[in-house]
Chain A
Amino acid sequence: MTITIDKIALFLGIVLMLIGLYGAFSLKSIIRIILSLSIFDTGINVLIVSLGYLKGRTAPIIDGDKVTVENIFNVAIDPVPQALVLTAIVIGFGVTALMLVYALKLYQSKKTLDINQFSDLKW
């Protein structure tokens, strides 16, 4: 089995996801949890890109030279995963931002960032 770049990326993506998950489930600081989730997201994104990689192909941009409307399906890689990743990154950004806002609010309300302290609502 040869090690190719897409396999490395795949591996990296999974590792990142696992790190993110571990962080999100074990760390107690809200900021760290947010960061972990962010890492988890990144891992997913890397995973998607790696899955979309086709060896020896070029970017799916119709420049009229290498890539034309006619041969796009043969020479370019699948553009969809990349589009997906782009969107996912944007949305991930939005979610992270909002989480940070919440972190701020939570800190203001109790002067702590320990997630164990925010379990007033239960049962």
Chain B
Amino acid sequence: MVSPFYLLGVGLGLGFLLGLTGKNSKKYTSAITFVAFAFFVFFSISWLIPFALKQVTETLIYTAGFLPPFSISLSVGFYEAVFSLMINSLGLLSILFLWKKINSESNALGGIILVLFMTLNMLVFARDIFNIFVWLEIAAISTSGIILLDKNKFSYSAGFKYLLASSIISSLYLIGVVLVYFTNGTLFLNDLITNASGVTMSVTAVFLMLIAIVLELKPFPANGWALDVYEGANPAIGAIMSGGVATASLFLLYKFSPLLDNKFSYLFVIAGLLTFVGSNLFGIKQDKANRLLGYSSIGQIGLLVAIIGFRPFLGDKFEFIAITILVSHFLAKAGLFWLSDVIKQDNIKNWSVLRRKPLLLVLFGIFVFSLIGLPPFPSFFGKWELIMMLSGGYKFAVVTIILVGSFIEAIYLFRWLGYAIKLDFSELPEYKFELNKIIPVVIFGALVLGAGYYAGNLICLKTLNYIPLAFIVLLYFIDSLPAYIKNTLSILALGYYSYLILPNLYETDMLRFIFAVIFLIGGIITLVAGYAYKGKRQGFYPVALLMYVGLALIIQAQTTLEFFFGWELMTAGSYFLIIRGKKSIEHGLSYILFSIGGAYAILAAFGLIYAETSDILLSSLSVATQNITLIFSLLAIGFMTKTASLGLHIWLPGAHAEAESDVSPMVSAILLKAGVFGLFILMIAMGHNPEAEQIGLILGWIGALTALVGNLAAAFQEDAKRLLAYSSISQLGYILFGLAMMTHLGWMSAMVYSINHFLYKSILFLTIGAVVLKVGTHDMYKMGGLIKNMPLAFIAVLIGIIALSGVPPLSGFAGKWLFYNAIIDKHWYFQGAIVFFSGIVAFLYLFKLIYSVFLGQLKDNLRKVKDISVWFAIPIYILIIGIMIISAKPELYLKPLGTMISGFYPNGELSWTGGLANAPYGYWNGSGVMITIGIMFSLLFLWLWSLSRKAQKVKQFNIVYAAEAPQRPETTHISYNIYAGYYKSIGWIVAPIFEKFWSTMTEWIHSVSDFGRRIYNGNGQYYMTHILIYMLAFYFILMH
């Protein structure tokens, strides 16, 4: 094994040498430094490999043959090697990134960077607490040296503030060291640790050392100096600060952590969590990219500090959790700072220039995702384990704080991502695409993906299926091909996947089979419409497939981890799908925030279940007996964010309405069912708990009110897609209501609604989407009379609305009929009455939809519109065939459903005599009704036709209009605000109270953020004061 002293030697020697060489050698500085760093990396790897292969154990090395404290002592172990590798590879890539800059600056710069990284290595290795002081000081000096890389007033003042702060901090540390020496007589950390249990150390001494290290890690709110550095210095320096210096300091804290007794653990936990939440909170209002990255960086480090404080609770998972979260942060933050330097845009709104090079946007997305902890990135698994282990310790409050902090972080990161994806960049300046700057970013992007794969394998023992994800990556690489090729590939992939899992599911699990059909077959059908799009449609297919993969994984999940993994993938994919819409930037944000919030609720619930059962099998939901109400409520809230139940629904209308024409059905008819599936899983578990009845009752009321408000709001929309979106909200309300009954018939109705809603909402959204593509507006009052131009679309919408309204003989009636029987059976009369009332309200918007678009007066500008694209018509008519089949023969699906649900609720099932279904209260013969109505309708039609077949076709304005001939279709087409009277009467029910509630919440958070961050007033002296006050405050907390 190479002695780490070589690293010291190379670093120092070359560093000084570079400082002394003349100007002529300037152009070689980068190359020389690069080679030096290559050696560093080589050293790290040479240490890491034997440790990884478990060939050697940790070794201690002393200088000059003396034992400590008379010598410097370095220790190399597995984790030291890992950290050293991280730091050195960052150094190597930093040199590559700064190549030209280093060559053009004075040649000392390369040397200083080298010395800094050497110092960081030494901070990792050193075991002598005074030695650590020295390295801390050298690190501070060299850091403030490289802050001078950019020569402007900002970097000067930032660097000076940094020096002020670090000199105070290191003084504190020094005093601590000296006190420790005088109480314990040693400076050797290992001795201190062995003593820690026996000899009582001076608490003050240890406190001073530890608080100094914590202060090095920029704890909130004593961290203004660090923020200023992140903002003022060159972003590449930010990368080094955030990825290198912070990583080394964190290891320092880790080294000291065995010294902690419980009191100090709490210190770390409090400091860390305060930082995590506070820093992210103050970041919300920030719009300068580098400073925002600083806030995020500080927040992440805070979380890691807390994790170190939690060490006693995390058991053998501690290292996994800490390293996955650290690695994600390390790679992502460095990558983001580098991106910031590449595009040279400080305002986050201007990051849309990333789109000039789609690769950069993808990298940006990867980094943001890994910061937030979405799959498949390492932090996802780290956070998962963290929550599981902490819940295991019954620290629910802590879990809540962590999740709140993560959520706040997601707020600004996703807002930023949204800006990058959506805002216009045509006015913004060009930037250079330099290979030496891109390669490091790409490498880190690839590494974070690889690390995610590795972490996933570590945690799940290779049960996660990565093949679909690999396919998505492949789709990304062929993104420059025409859309129809990618469309075909996607359909084939979904088809193959269906072929793989559907037959087996049919045999084993009917519930999952049905949802798998909705997700996968539904996916194929809606993808067919994609052929209507010309060109490349860049970025569409990878994200669409991502959503479907997530959905499929949810179906297949056996454990809560797999479920959550799939859930988050699905959320991510659908987010990108939704935000593709033209005006979707804010809707995408509110969608993802609700989804993330819901996902965290689910995560917390899974954690609680794990805490009790020590099991991550999905079936353990049914086993849990403690905290039942909390667990079930959390899960319900989580799933209801996806089903957009009342109160959590405000994201849906905009998100679905502004999405692209073929995306709306995907996210409305298919995606929402993921929430339904989740609710099914939840209710299956709840069925085993008599205590869950109360939650069921509440959910039932929520479902009923959702149905009512959704339908009423739909009736007052002028935008066709918004109308359908509100309609989805209410339909999902029915489903929630049916599920919450937790009886055989209730579930039957929920299932029937799920299937039917999938069918008719796909039809309606596809058709309206196709119409919108032709007429170029969503506003219904701008259409009218399109039946003559678009007969295909009209028939589709007609069948869709009849099915939706529940009018016999089409399939929707099955749901209504089951509802009546179910609610009387369950005694939920009033909720039931609300549901039925809302079902009738549905006629208002259904009529408005079909009438305003297809009937009434044709507008002049639409006279030449053609019928909808055939690629939309194909899936639409396939779905119509589906509706017709289950309308004519409802027993085809009602019987298997009944059998399936009998597995959960054996009482109260339907009894069948041929096609006649008998429920406890009523009876209904679907086929009979269909035939009767069919024959009667045909006969009456023939009769009328025989009477008036010679009726003369007349022109548009040939109507009896109070003896006047109307001249303009606009004045004759009654559509706008058609239900004004109705609104006057009961419009108060749809007053936007929830919208107001959420927007007030948002304003509040922003105001708090804006107010709070003013403590960072930019004055170095204040920052020093913060540090001192922070220390004193913690000292008092500790002493009491």
Contacts and interface: CB of A to CB of B under 8 A. Distances in A.
CB atoms of A and B under 8 A apart anywhere in the complex?
yes
8 contacts: A37-B167, A47-B175, A48-B178, A87-B134, A119-B1018, A120-B154, A122-B228, A123-B285
Contacts of A48: 174, 178
Contact of B160 (A21, A44, A99): A99
Contact of A51 (B163, B178, B1021): B178
Interface in B619-665: none
Contact of B171 (A44, A80, A106, A110): A44
Contacts of B1020: 33, 115, 118
Contacts of A21: 1028
A116 B164 CA distance: 14
A57 to B, nearest CB: 16
Interface string B145-170: 10010001110111111011001100
B134 A95 contact: no
B1024 interface: yes
A26 B162 CA distance: 18
A93 to B, nearest CB: 11
Interface of A: 21, 24-25, 28, 30, 33, 37, 40-41, 44, 47-48, 51, 80-81, 84, 87-88, 91, 94-95, 98-99, 102-103, 105-106, 109-110, 115-116, 118-123
Given A87-B130, A94-B141, A123-B286, A102 B1018 contact: no
Contacts of B156: 102, 105-106, 109, 118
A88 B286 CA distance: 39
A122 B1018 contact: yes
A51 B145 CA distance: 33
A99 B137 CA distance: 13
Given A102-B144, A120-B157, A122-B1017, A84 B130 contact: yes
A37 to B, nearest CB: 5
A21 B1018 CA distance: 20
A33 B164 contact: yes
Contacts of B159: 102
Given A33-B1021, A84-B181, A91-B137, 6 more contacts: A25-B1024, A47-B178, A102-B160, A106-B156, A118-B153, A120-B157
Size category of the binding interface on chain B: 35 or more
Contact of B178 (A84, A94, A99, A120): A84
Given A87-B134, A105-B148, A121 B154 contact: yes
Contact of B1016 (A30, A115, A120, A123): A123
B381 to A, nearest CB: 35
Q: Quick one: which of A21, A41, A121, A122 has the most chain B CB within 10 A? A: A121
A40 B172 CA distance: 11
A80 B141 contact: no
B141 A106 contact: no
Given A44-B171, A119-B1017, A94 B163 contact: no
Contacts of B231: 121
A103 B144 CA distance: 13
Interface string B999-1040: 000000000000001101111110011001000000000000
B69 interface: yes
B140 interface: yes
Contacts, number: 120
B261 to A, nearest CB: 25
Nearest to B152: A109
Q: Is the interface of A mostly helix, strand, loop or mixed?
A: helix
A37 B170 CA distance: 12
Per CB-CB distance, the 8 closest pairs between chain A and chain B, nearest first, are A119-B1018, A122-B1018, A118-B157, A109-B153, A121-B228, A102-B160, A91-B137, A105-B156
B187 interface: yes
Interface of B: 69-70, 130, 133-134, 137-138, 140-141, 144-145, 148, 152-154, 156-161, 163-164, 167-168, 171, 174-175, 177-178, 181-182, 187, 224, 227-228, 231-232, 285-286, 291, 1013-1014, 1016-1021, 1024-1025, 1028
Contact of B232 (A24, A47, A121): A121
A53 to B, nearest CB: 11
Contacts of B160: 30, 99, 102-103, 106, 118
Contacts of A118: 153, 156-157, 160-161, 1018-1020
A103 B168 CA distance: 17
Nearest to B137: A91
B216 to A, nearest CB: 15
B153 A40 contact: no
B747 to A, nearest CB: 54
A103 B163 CA distance: 11
Nearest to B1022: A119
Given A37-B164, A40-B171, A116-B1019, A95 B178 contact: no
Nearest to A21: B1028
A113 B358 CA distance: 46
Contact of B163 (A88, A95, A115, A119): A95
B228 A44 contact: no
Nearest to B1015: A123
A47 B431 CA distance: 55
Contacts of B175: 44, 47
A123 B283 CA distance: 9
Nearest to A116: B1019
Contacts of A25: 1021, 1024-1025, 1028
A95 B141 contact: yes
Contacts of B154: 120-121
A120 B167 contact: no
Contacts of B134: 87, 91
A120 B153 contact: yes
Nearest to A94: B141
A40 to B, nearest CB: 6
Contacts of B1028: 21, 25
Nearest to B70: A80
Contact of A41 (B145, B164, B171): B171
Contact of A24 (B228, B1019, B1024): B1024
Contacts of B1019: 115-116, 118-119
B137 A94 contact: yes
B178 A102 contact: no
Contacts of B1017: 119, 122-123
Nearest to A37: B167
Contacts of A109: 152-153, 156
